[in-house]
Amino acid sequence: MVTLTIDGRKVQVEKGTTILDAAKRIGIDIPTLCYHPDLEARAVCRVCVVEIEGQKLLQPACAYPVSEGMVVRTNTQAVRQARRMAVELLLAKHPQDCLQCIRNQNCELQALAERLGIREVRFERRLRGLPEDHSTPSIVREPDKCILCRRCVETCQNVQGVGVLFPAGRGADTVVTPVFGNDLADVSCALCGQCILACPVGAISERDDTERVWEALADPSKHVVVQTAPAIRATIGEEMGMEPGTLVTGKLVAALRRLGFDKVMDTDFTADLTIIEEGNELLERIKEGGVLPMITSCSPGWIKFGEHYYPDLLPHISTCKSPQQMFGALVKTYYAQKAGIDPANIFSVSLMPCTAKKFEAERPEMRSSGYQDVDAVLTSRELGRMLREAGIRFDDLPEEEHDDPMGISTGAGAIFGATGGVMEAALRTVYEVATGSELGDLEFEQVRGLDGIKEAEVNLNGLTVRVAVAHGLGNAKKILEMLRAGKANYHFIEIMCCPGGCVGGGGQPIPSTMEIKGKRGRALYLADRNMPYRKSHENPAIKQIYAEFLEKPLGERSHQLLHTHYTSRSKY
């Protein structure tokens, strides 16, 4: 333990603690900008500087380790002057179109300018005039807003292991950019959107599709159907101002009805369907000597990453479409048929934690119904915007139920939104299907939690099935490299593109730290425990769709509507 003095008060902390964290213990909140709790501190913005007795230089609290007897002052004239100057310098090159900015009122620079009382910028206003990037369906870049904090670089490079974003140029001409100043569409970006979560300002954001959805809702000829992804029920409350980890399934349904959606159905239903299809695919691959290990395919960021960086491993990926796309294919076939609606008039919206889902929906493979299966993808943040605009007060809403026929789901579907959830859901079903006996303990603790890579073994009548779970592409890479080297001795691997799984998706509320992601995940496991059905194969609606429409898992119709193929893409 180390004892130091901060602003005249003694504090005792563990060795290696930063000044920032030590100050927090005694209620001093040092302002930060480039600091992010999940990333290695780079101390580049110099906003968190403090005075240390005996040093002429101010030091960054976010990165400076405490030492015995250290005397720190966090609020002196020199400290305030330095902090304000840093923010003033940034503002002088920032567009300051805050009122129109997608991050208005959720911007760290804006909040900091307010907190430090910046009332004037004494330098010439000068924008860099860098071109915006609207090249992908997922992510918008406005480099003029960039304050060069490098959080996106750190995230893309070191957390996700992708490295599409990097600083180029030097000094005041430095820009964070894909190679050659290219647009994201022209590089090997997974479109996961983790850079958006990392960005403190509006320099990187999701493509906003709310207007297209408003138009569809306003069009009386359109039958607008919405599906709600598993993770959204644990995060939309947070987006609407509730505590992270508040589960709001019923209120979400009520809110969507009030926005004017004709049917509110559930992606959890197709998550269950995925388990049936994928579970059977796994058993078939094991039985028939197919390519193993099999890797999950629900996460479109992972799929795009795999296509760019591991094209040789594509045969390992399950051919199952993601739950979003299974839903999309069924809503314009099965549901249209059942409800007697011309699929041409159905506008299918999905509510997703994810920016890569926007790309997935536009893939040419995703038109099995003869139409684009999913017409618009909204992230949690976009839905939040629509709800606020419509004046829907979330806490006052009643709890409502999803619509039939694709509204009934199980706890297995719900946990899809957390890392390890797909694996756990699959194991519940695969065990019972393969062994024919009932599973005693449903909860596979080994695959839960936020460890980067998790492993487990399950005994299926003498066959030991080895599984692994990775979340975040950086962790996925480790397993994929093992696989390439022939050292991944597993049958089944779950890969989720985003750290924490979909609760940490690139479309989720900001801020999205690992701590918050943990709370969101726990909410989904709570949902699971409270569900009447907790195994996908027990879902009565699933039994019904096989009976009425699909006939059998991996059947002809399944292949036509629920399975897909992948495309090898360039790494550079």
For the annotated catalytic residues, the residue numbers are 278, 281, 298, 318, 357, 360, 365, 502
Query: Is 565 a binder of other proteins (CB under 8 A)?
Result: no
Query: Is 93 a binder of other proteins (CB under 8 A)?
Result: yes
Phi, psi of 213, deg, nearest 5: -75, -40
> Which residue is associated with the tokens 């019972």?
432
For residues 61 and 458, which CB has a smaller minimum distance to other proteins in the complex?
A: 61
With CB under 8 A as the contact rule, the residue among 119, 170, 487, 565 that binds other proteins is: 170
With CB under 8 A as the contact rule, the residue among 122, 441, 461, 485 that binds other proteins is: 122
Report, in Å, the least distance between residue 53 CB and other proteins: 14
Looking at residue 372, its amino acid is: Q
Query: Is 165 a binder of other proteins (CB under 8 A)?
Result: yes
User: In angstroms, rounded to a whole number, what is the distance separating the alpha carbons of residues 55 and 49?
Assistant: 12
Given phi > 0 = left and psi -120 to 50 = alpha, else beta, which region is 171?
left
Query: Is 474 a binder of other proteins (CB under 8 A)?
Result: no
> Which residue is associated with the tokens 């493979």?
365
Name beta bridge partners: 167. 176
What is the C-alpha radius of gyration for the chain, rounded to an integer number of angstroms? 25
Report, in Å, the least distance between residue 493 CB and other proteins: 23
Query: Is 298 a binder of other proteins (CB under 8 A)?
Result: no
Q: Are strands 263-266 and 223-228 parallel, antiparallel or unpaired?
A: parallel
With CB under 8 A as the contact rule, the residue among 2, 89, 185, 392 that binds other proteins is: 89
User: In angstroms, rounded to a whole number, what is the distance separating the alpha carbons of residues 3 and 392?
Assistant: 50
Interior angle at CA 472, CA 45 and CA 383, nearest 5: 80
User: In angstroms, rounded to a whole number, what is the distance separating the alpha carbons of residues 548 and 28?
Assistant: 62
Query: Is 65 a binder of other proteins (CB under 8 A)?
Result: yes
User: In angstroms, rounded to a whole number, what is the distance separating the alpha carbons of residues 218 and 220?
Assistant: 6
Size of the site for other proteins (CB under 8 A): 51
User: In angstroms, rounded to a whole number, what is the distance separating the alpha carbons of residues 305 and 543?
Assistant: 34
With CB under 8 A as the contact rule, the residue among 8, 27, 117, 171 that binds other proteins is: 171
Binding segment (CB under 8 A) for other proteins, from list 176-184, 384-392, 397-405, 435-443: 176-184
Give the CA diameter of the chain: 79
Report, in Å, the least distance between residue 272 CB and other proteins: 38
Binding segment (CB under 8 A) for other proteins, from list 155-163, 296-304, 366-374, 549-557: 155-163
* CA 114 to mean position of chain CA atoms: 29
Query: Is 315 a binder of other proteins (CB under 8 A)?
Result: no
With CB under 8 A as the contact rule, the residue among 44, 118, 392, 439 that binds other proteins is: 44
- Residue 176: partners with Cβ closer than 8 Å, 6 or more residues away: 143, 146, 148, 150, 152, 153, 165, 166, 167, 168
Query: Is 174 a binder of other proteins (CB under 8 A)?
Result: yes
Binding segment (CB under 8 A) for other proteins, from list 173-181, 195-203, 262-270, 383-391: 173-181
Structure tokens at 67: 């030492």
Report, in Å, the least distance between residue 441 CB and other proteins: 43
Query: Is 485 a binder of other proteins (CB under 8 A)?
Result: no
Binding segment (CB under 8 A) for other proteins, from list 136-144, 179-187, 373-381, 402-410: 179-187
User: In angstroms, rounded to a whole number, what is the distance separating the alpha carbons of residues 509 and 236?
Assistant: 8
Phi, psi of 11, deg, nearest 5: -140, 140
Q: Are strands 346-352 and 463-471 parallel, antiparallel or unpaired?
A: unpaired
With CB under 8 A as the contact rule, the residue among 173, 396, 438, 441 that binds other proteins is: 173
With CB under 8 A as the contact rule, the residue among 18, 110, 136, 177 that binds other proteins is: 177
What would the 3-class secondary structure string for 364-387 be? Answer: CCCCCCCCCCCCEEEEHHHHHHHH
Scanning residues 376 to 435, which ones bind other proteins (CB under 8 A)?
Answer: none
The verdict on whether omega for the bond into residue 511 sits within 30 degrees of 0, i.e. cis, is yes
With CB under 8 A as the contact rule, the residue among 2, 98, 130, 168 that binds other proteins is: 168
Report, in Å, the least distance between residue 405 CB and other proteins: 46
For residues 60 and 244, which CB has a smaller minimum distance to other proteins in the complex?
A: 60
Residues lying near other proteins in the complex (CB under 8 A) are found at 41-47, 49, 56-58, 60, 63-65, 78, 81-82, 85-86, 89-90, 92-93, 122-124, 126, 147-148, 157, 162-174, 177-180, 187, 571-572
